[in-house]
Chains A and B, each alone.
Chain A
Amino acid sequence: MTQISRRDFIRLTGLTAAASALAACAPDQPPSVSPAAPQATYAPAEPILPVPPENLPDLSIIALNRLAFGPRPGDLEAFQSLGATDEERLAAYVEQQLNPDSIDDSEWEARLASLDFETLNKSLEDLFREHIVENPYDDNDDRHWQWFVLPADETAEVTFLKAIYSRRQLQELLADFWHNHFNVYGWHEDATPLFASYDRDVIRAHLFGNFRQFLEAVASHPSMLYYLDNRSNSDAGPNENFARELFELHTLGAESYLGVRDQAAVEKDASGVAVGYVDNDVYEAARCFTGWRVDDDTGEWEDDVGMSGRFLYYKPWHDRFNKLILGQYLPADQEDMQDARDVLDLLAAHPGTARHIARKLVRRFVSDDAPESLVQAAADAFLAHKDSPDQLRQVYRVILLSPEFRQTWGGKIKRPFEFAAAMFRALNADFARVPDGIRWTYTMMGQGLFEHHPPDGYPDEAAAWANSMAMLYGWNLTVGVVENWWNEDEEGRRAVIDLRAQTPPESRTAASLTDFWIARLLGRALPEDSRQAIIKVMAGDYAPDAELSDDDINWRLSSAVALVLMTPEFRMR
């Protein structure tokens, strides 16, 4: 890393006097600041709200920042060429993105092919055997751990790169959405290598598909079975962990939780299904899922259990007696797996589930304060298409083509993942494998990919991300990136940004350089005072319209570009 020292900075900027004054402020031992205390009070801040309709940016900005991880150079223009009116352009863009196979992604595929990932195409069984059962390295060897976590590490890394390069941007946003919805901590001690399969075979395989099928794929994948402990759920003493989160997080949501009370006291809808759930429904569902485990007889003592790492329905552990779920009676001795499948059927078809999923999607794609009308329309579509193989695609279409989608801007801020990917896209960064420094710095913002331990996924509201660590490390990441501090590491990992090559050679004044990069990175104007603040940094001691030397431009352009990316406007969605 070629960080410029304070001494260089003093020499280069001629601010010796001021800098010395600051340097003198570093206290001697022990380091204890201050002061004297302040009397100011901290007024409550205004909430982050959508802008008024007259301040909406062009629809291309809305689309590329909410249906994609921000625009790459050329994306806004490509959007404009999709039709004659906003409606036509958005409809065409949404249809493309809803059908990812129709999008030519060869640029990304070529890059991917050059990056030498080792584990991403391995089957679940191969991951289990090669990285768990037959790990070639000794327990005490660091390589044992590295080999064990490699599939999860590679999944996180390739996910980061796909967000930057894949043209199937909606697919990437949806993968992120569903990974958080069906959250699994990627480095769970027993299941780490299997995460590559969970990402590919469960999340990505179903995200445009049918929710009921998605749900069963999640419930029966070893990553989830390990993560929420259902792999040890047996009739001898049921483990409620998975069953509770199935109700609260995966389907009905906390808004349908009626607490600790008698099942018989819960109101039923016209078809006799309870309108919400109580604790007893959770216990009964846990009983239904007894015996859903993993084929992992690590102790080699169980009959009929092998070592494939696959899902296993293990009848000796299943509670065979009758159960009551959401007011529905399930008789004893149903056929294999039927009890749990009945639970999934009930949950997937429940209006509470439709609203819960719809609200989360609207919050993700439109605004933190999800408009109720749109939530209901999306929930209606969810139920109307509940048996179709592309149920979820139908729901997305309702949301993305809604007037609410087009007429809302700024009611959300980019989460760290969106922020980082948007920055690399806007700067047209050239990545090989992701340098560790970038991963570390990005993670300091608080949203390491697949690193959320609790089962609720990362929060999706501005208040959760408007905090100083996300702010500070967003700034730090920006500075490191524009300065090319990660342009090569020992393993050939790198990200390179060439700002001069992307700047028109005729732009040579602070004002024109700043204006070019504001338009280029934001696609819209900044408030005048913000523009002036950035011009001042670009200009240094010169006038805004004075022609700058190459040395001046080389010295200051990165800071001016960084500041555009550091604006609150860049964080808006």
Chain B
Amino acid sequence: MNTKISRRQFMQGCSAAIAAMAGARLTNVAFAAQDSPNDTLVVVFLRGGWDALNVVPPLAGDDRGFYEKARPGLKIPDNALLPLNDQFGLHPALDPLYDLYQQGHLGIVHAVGLNFDTRSHFDAMEYIELGTPGSKATTSGWITRHLQSAPGGTSGLLPVIAAPSQPTALLGATATVSMSSVGDFTQWDNGLLAEQQVALRRLYNGDTLLHQVGLRTLDAVQAVAPVAETEYRPSNGARYEEDELGTQLKTVAQMIKMDAGLKVATVDFGGWDMHEYESWSVNDGWMPNQLRSLGSNLANFYLDLDSGYTDRLSVVVISEFGRRLAQNDSQGTDHGHGSVMLALGGAVNGGQVYGAWPGLHNDQLYDHADLAVTTDYRQVLGELLVNRLGNPNVGEVFPGFEAGGLGVFAK
């Protein structure tokens, strides 16, 4: 506690030094003591529509038969699946997450998604991220409205980061700083950087989005500078994969550990649109490789933050839709409907598969083709808002929607 106070005083002195050099205070930021009781939200968006039916396939019963018949070249053998319960198994490439499932930190929601008639990537992503299915006229993302409507508003030195770029869910969120990695988030110095920064604050003194982004960038560069110059050592021996997702999650972990008030981080993981050659075998090929990256990086992210941060961490993994039950002749799957969401965190009631299972009989499928949606994705996020993010105003975040109780996130 003692060190914390002295560090705080130290840093206040520093911000004064930066401000003196800069000739201006850090924009929009005033320093004052505050400890948020709420979780940091991390949203991992899998772009392209992941094949949920191969992530969490049925393990037994009639549905197992429908599944195997529809996917002669792509089915995961039942003896290769990691059993989640009597009904479902987990793709073996997600093995690192299986431990977290068994420890109760990972929950799975099946047959979840956007309850709106579209099989377009771009429509589906936009509706999900705007939080207004059926309307694209919305001018802010769902996370933006959460930040605006949460009691106390948005504050903090670096409340929102997007890795690597700002998604639609953060449309209109001026607090957002996009960042590909901490180490790269530095402003280059030709010897006159400090004077240039003073000038830049004057050049960007304005109200438009462009001006505001300029000022936010300057703030963030100065805030991150001490961390950017040192090599990051993850806690507990965690090892991120040397890929984009690993870099991004590592960045988020670093920002969380900066204790600079990170409230939301978004991470994009693309490459899930597998119309062709989804996998060569259970453990080799496109889909297994993607899943291995996802599982390993998430598990290591959790391990890294299991150093005092997981109690206030909620991670959600979402994709715009799942894929068709029946495979095509290119050893791939086309766009479908119902999907799977993952919830990871210290307060997740894990070790369970949530959601009403609609079944895979032809009459039970959406449009006689895809897994149906029985749980609206907003139900998961709505519960998260109320139980973990301290925001009871679900109706402002998702207009016209009332969140029910799934029980994935503990209060």
CB contacts under 8 Å to A, within B267-285, are 270-271, 273, 275-276
Cβ–Cβ contact B7 & A533, under 8 A: no
Q: Given the complex of chains A and B, what is the CA–CA distance between A413 and B213 in angstroms?
A: 13
* CB within 8 Å for A472 and B217 given contacts A35-B12, A568-B206: yes
B202 at the interface (CB under 8 A from A): yes
Task: Find B172's partner among A44, A236, A237, A446 (CB 8 Å cutoff).
Answer: A44
- The stretch from B222-230, B380-388, B398-406 touching chain A is B222-230
Please give, as numbers and ranges, the residues of chain A lying within 8 Å of B79 by CB-CB distance: none
A244 at the interface (CB under 8 A from B): yes
CB contacts under 8 Å to A, within B106-164, are 116-123, 147-148, 153-157, 159, 162, 164
Please give, as numbers and ranges, the residues of chain B lying within 8 Å of A239 by CB-CB distance: 275-276, 328-330, 332, 334
- The stretch from A103-111, A254-262, A325-333, A424-432 touching chain B is A254-262
Cβ–Cβ contact A467 & B174, under 8 A: no
Cβ–Cβ contact B196 & A232, under 8 A: no
Cβ–Cβ contact A34 & B8, under 8 A: yes
Can you list 22 pairs linking A and B with CB atoms under 8 Å apart? A4-B189, A18-B20, A25-B17, A25-B226, A27-B11, A31-B226, A32-B257, A33-B258, A33-B259, A37-B260, A41-B155, A42-B155, A45-B212, A234-B329, A238-B329, A239-B275, A239-B332, A257-B123, A529-B202, A532-B202, A559-B192, A567-B203
A501 at the interface (CB under 8 A from B): no
CB contacts under 8 Å to B, within A1-19, are 3-4, 6, 8-9, 12-13, 15, 18-19
* CB within 8 Å for A46 and B207 given contacts A32-B258, A38-B157, A563-B196: yes
Q: Given the complex of chains A and B, what is the CA–CA distance between A254 and B121 in angstroms?
A: 10
Task: Find B230's partner among A31, A34, A260, A476 (CB 8 Å cutoff).
Answer: A31
Please give, as numbers and ranges, the residues of chain B lying within 8 Å of A30 by CB-CB distance: 233, 257
Q: Given the complex of chains A and B, what is the CA–CA distance between A49 and B189 in angstroms?
A: 33
Please give, as numbers and ranges, the residues of chain A lying within 8 Å of B198 by CB-CB distance: 533, 536-537
Hey, what's the 0/1 contact readout for A238-271 against B, CB within 8 Å counting as 1?
1111001000100000100101110000000000
Please give, as numbers and ranges, the residues of chain A lying within 8 Å of B203 by CB-CB distance: 530, 533-534, 563, 566-568
Task: Give the dominant DSSP class at B's interface.
Answer: loop
Q: Given the complex of chains A and B, what is the CA–CA distance between A440 and B222 in angstroms?
A: 23
B62 at the interface (CB under 8 A from A): no
Please give, as numbers and ranges, the residues of chain B lying within 8 Å of A8 by CB-CB distance: 191
Task: Find A34's partner among B11, B174, B212 (CB 8 Å cutoff).
Answer: B11
Q: Which residues on B are within 8 Å of A, measured CB to CB?
A: 7-8, 10-15, 17-18, 20-21, 28-36, 47-48, 116-123, 147-148, 153-157, 159, 162, 164-166, 171-180, 184-185, 187-196, 198-200, 202-214, 216-217, 220-221, 223-224, 226-227, 229-230, 233, 257-261, 270-271, 273, 275-276, 326-330, 332, 334-335, 367
Closest beta carbon of chain A to B331's beta carbon, Å: 8
Cβ–Cβ contact A33 & B260, under 8 A: yes
Cβ–Cβ contact B217 & A33, under 8 A: no
A469 at the interface (CB under 8 A from B): yes
A471 at the interface (CB under 8 A from B): yes
Closest beta carbon of chain B to A360's beta carbon, Å: 14
A26 at the interface (CB under 8 A from B): yes
Closest beta carbon of chain A to B291's beta carbon, Å: 18
* CB within 8 Å for A559 and B196 given contacts A36-B31, A36-B32, A468-B213: yes
Please give, as numbers and ranges, the residues of chain A lying within 8 Å of B172 by CB-CB distance: 44-45, 463
Cβ–Cβ contact B192 & A468, under 8 A: no
Please give, as numbers and ranges, the residues of chain B lying within 8 Å of A547 by CB-CB distance: none
Cβ–Cβ contact B217 & A480, under 8 A: no
Q: Given the complex of chains A and B, what is the CA–CA distance between A46 and B226 in angstroms?
A: 32
Please give, as numbers and ranges, the residues of chain A lying within 8 Å of B11 by CB-CB distance: 25, 27, 33-36
Cβ–Cβ contact B180 & A34, under 8 A: no
* CB within 8 Å for A472 and B221 given contacts A3-B189, A38-B32, A39-B32: yes
In the A-B complex, list the 7 residue pairs whose CB atoms are closest, starting with the nearest. A237-B329, A25-B14, A533-B202, A4-B191, A232-B330, A259-B117, A42-B175
Cβ–Cβ contact B18 & A40, under 8 A: no
Task: Find B209's partner among A12, A36, A48, A562 (CB 8 Å cutoff).
Answer: A48
Q: Given the complex of chains A and B, what is the CA–CA distance between A555 and B192 in angstroms?
A: 9
A47 at the interface (CB under 8 A from B): yes
Closest-by-CB residue of B relative to A559 is B192
Cβ–Cβ contact B30 & A47, under 8 A: no
Please give, as numbers and ranges, the residues of chain B lying within 8 Å of A25 by CB-CB distance: 10-11, 13-14, 17-18, 226
Q: Given the complex of chains A and B, what is the CA–CA distance between A453 and B220 in angstroms?
A: 28
Cβ–Cβ contact A47 & B208, under 8 A: yes
Closest-by-CB residue of A relative to B201 is A533
Known: A13-B192, A248-B120, A279-B367. 14 other contacts (CB 8 A): A3-B189, A12-B191, A18-B194, A19-B194, A34-B7, A239-B332, A254-B120, A260-B119, A413-B210, A453-B270, A463-B209, A468-B178, A469-B179, A471-B217
Cβ–Cβ contact A236 & B329, under 8 A: yes
Please give, as numbers and ranges, the residues of chain A lying within 8 Å of B226 by CB-CB distance: 25-27, 31, 33
Cβ–Cβ contact B190 & A479, under 8 A: yes
CB contacts under 8 Å to B, within A466-486, are 466-469, 471-472, 475-476, 479-480, 482-483
Cβ–Cβ contact A468 & B177, under 8 A: yes
Q: Given the complex of chains A and B, what is the CA–CA distance between A27 and B230 in angstroms?
A: 10
Please give, as numbers and ranges, the residues of chain B lying within 8 Å of A568 by CB-CB distance: 203-204, 206, 208, 210-211, 214
Please give, as numbers and ranges, the residues of chain A lying within 8 Å of B153 by CB-CB distance: 41
Closest beta carbon of chain A to B232's beta carbon, Å: 8
Q: Given the complex of chains A and B, what is the CA–CA distance between A462 and B211 in angstroms?
A: 12
Task: Find B227's partner among A33, A40, A476 (CB 8 Å cutoff).
Answer: A33
Please give, as numbers and ranges, the residues of chain B lying within 8 Å of A463 by CB-CB distance: 171-172, 209
Cβ–Cβ contact B7 & A468, under 8 A: no
Cβ–Cβ contact A454 & B230, under 8 A: no
A84 at the interface (CB under 8 A from B): no
* CB within 8 Å for A261 and B117 given contacts A31-B226, A45-B209, A456-B122: yes
CB contacts under 8 Å to B, within A515-573, are 529-530, 532-534, 536-537, 555-556, 558-559, 562-563, 566-568, 571
Closest-by-CB residue of A relative to B10 is A27
Cβ–Cβ contact B117 & A260, under 8 A: yes
Cβ–Cβ contact A48 & B33, under 8 A: no
A349 at the interface (CB under 8 A from B): no
Q: Given the complex of chains A and B, what is the CA–CA distance between A454 and B121 in angstroms?
A: 10
Q: Given the complex of chains A and B, what is the CA–CA distance between A572 and B146 in angstroms?
A: 31
* CB within 8 Å for A471 and B157 given contacts A18-B21, A537-B196: no
Q: Given the complex of chains A and B, what is the CA–CA distance between A24 and B213 in angstroms?
A: 28
